[in-house]
Amino acid sequence: MRLNRLCDENPAIGKRIRALAEKNKIRAMGRSVTAIKRSIIHFSNDIMDEIKAAVPKHLPRDLRDDAIQNEH
pLDDT digits (tens, 9 = 90+) for 10-27: 999 999 999 999 888 877
Q: Tens of pLDDT along 50-69?
A: 788 888 888 888 888 888 88
Domain membership of residue 14 as a residue range: 1-32
Q: Would you list the DSSP string of 4-62?
A: HHHHHH-HHHHHHHHHHHHHHHHHHHT----PPPGGGSPP-S-HHHHHHHHS-TTS-HH
Based on the fold, state whether residues 2 and 23 are members of the same structural domain.
Answer: yes
Q: How confident is the model at residue 5 (pLDDT cuts 50, 70, 90)?
A: very high
- One domain, residues 4 and 27: yes
Q: What pLDDT does 19 receive?
A: 92
Q: Are residues 11 and 38 in the same domain?
A: no
5 and 27 within one domain: yes
User: Do 48 and 27 reside in the same domain of the chain?
Assistant: no
Total number of domains constituting the chain: 2
